[in-house]
Amino acid sequence: MVLRVVSLVPSLSEAVGVSAPGVLVGATDWCSRPVGLEVVRVGGTKNPDVGRIVGLRPDLVVANEEENRAQDLAALRGAGLEVMVTEVRSVEQAFRELERVLVEGCGVARPGWLDAAEEVWRALPVRAPERVAVVPVWRRPWMVLGRDTFAGDVLARLGVRNVYAGHGERYPRVSVEELNAVAADVVVLPDEPYRFTAEDGPEAFPGLPAALVSGRHLTWYGPSLLEAPGALGAALDGAALLRP
């Protein structure tokens, strides 16, 4: 069993922290779960302190190809550390990668929460798109979900079609004027990476109801997958109440 793990991904910090208590020795400043996580902080996902990580002498560093920079991962490997990198573009891929990290990487038994989360998603009915959404993830400049994203797959399984799912880029920059001109039923506003709130976001889309959703439920892959369908579904159903 791996005894010392550093995580550079909030999702994986939660997954490892819940599944193998005591194994996690370092995590980024953005790793907020499990609640009360007390480990050495090693900087951000895009600017980790390589020297501090090396000093922790981890048996394994877990990272993600989208959230972490290739040059930082190369530096960690150059220092002699084992680095496991996940790629997650769909719910199914998330489950495979979580099992790989926890069972193969950390050497723990497949956790019960992972089986339960898979069952929750497996039990969802196959749904044709019932709503069409614009999904901003950043403001100043405006950026939205594009093609081939985990969050886009999450929404699709809940009956929401992302307007920009066929775009050539994964996170295209789009003017707010264009966003307001597309044919959509709802704007989905997560609280990360940009923190959209009832006072910051909905007012830019006066013609659309706004669904304020938890970024943890929309973009994290880990124990949050158990709660995500219910939490996101409730936020989407309540979107009409937030029409600006």
Residue 89's φ and ψ, nearest 5 degrees, are -120, 0
Q: pLDDT grade, residue 1 (50/70/90)?
A: low
Mean pLDDT score of the chain, rounded to an integer? Answer: 94
pLDDT value, residue 2: 65
Residue 129 clears pLDDT 90, i.e. is over it: no
User: What percentage of the chain carries pLDDT values higher than 90?
Assistant: 91
pLDDT value of position 240: 56
pLDDT reported for residue 238: 81
**159-206 pLDDT, tens digit each:** 999 999 999 999 999 999 999 999 999 999 999 999 999 999 999 999
Domain ranges of the chain: 5-120, 131-242
Q: How confident is the model at residue 207 (pLDDT cuts 50, 70, 90)?
A: confident
Q: List Cβ neighbours of 141 (8 Å cut-off, separation of 6 or more).
A: 173
Mean pLDDT for 125-150 is 92
Position 99 pLDDT exceeds 90: yes
For the domain covering 131-242, report its CATH number. 3.40.50.1980
The CATH number of the domain covering residues in 5-120: 3.40.50.1980
> Same fold for the domain at 5-120 and the one at 131-242?
yes
pLDDT at 60 over 90: yes
CA distances from 42 to 36, 71, 234 (A): 17, 16, 35
* DSSP states of 35-87: TT---EE-B-SSSB-HHHHHHT--SEEEEETTTS-HHHHHHHHHTT--EEEE-
| Token pair of 87 as six digits | 């790629």
Confidence of residue 128 (pLDDT cuts 50, 70, 90): confident
Q: How far apart are CA 64 and CA 70, in angstroms?
A: 10
Does this model's pTM top 0.75? My answer is yes
